[in-house]
Homo-oligomer: A and B are copies of this chain.
Amino acid sequence: MHVQAILFTFAPVMKKSDSKYCGCLYYSANALSRLMTKMADEEFAVVGLSSSYAFLLMTVNNKPGIQPNKISEEMLLSPSTITRLIEKMEQKKLVERKSMGRTTEVYPTEESLKLDPKIKEAWKKLYHRYSDLIGKDEAKTLTAKTYEVVNKIG
């Protein structure tokens, strides 16, 4: 306890910036989001995808035939965004749409399924990367807290 205090006094954690906005959740949430997205995009680059597409594929690979509707819920993105994501992945021959009446089912292609382990691997690396940077427990609690707040607000 004492040691901690002394350490903090003589060796404070260096902050990169200290904006007048740092007490605002809008600000810090957005800043973190941008950083995490950049980090995720870097990791998923090994499979030639940016983060959103990687998550889309994992979602579809996990539940072949899932409806855009449900993907939207799972990824917390708007239906129109999901349409756009699916379009792009269809162009790349990584998913296929089967429309039946007003509903649509989205299926992974062979290639997407073959890619799946690599995507999951990249995802794991992402996890380790930020966990190493900020501490495993710290990462877990922040993630949980954040998600909890998302559920309260959204």
Contact = CB atoms under 8 A, between A and B. Distances in A.
A120 to B, nearest CB: 12
Contacts of A148: 13
Copies in the complex: 2
Interface residues of A, number: 55
B142 A25 contact: yes
* Majority DSSP secondary structure for residues of A touching B: helix
A143 B25 contact: yes
A143 B33 contact: no
B28 A150 contact: yes
Contacts of A33: 29-30, 32-34
B133 A32 contact: no
Contacts of A150: 28, 31-32, 35
Interface of A: 13, 15-17, 19-37, 39-40, 51, 55, 62, 73-76, 123, 126-127, 130, 133-134, 138-154
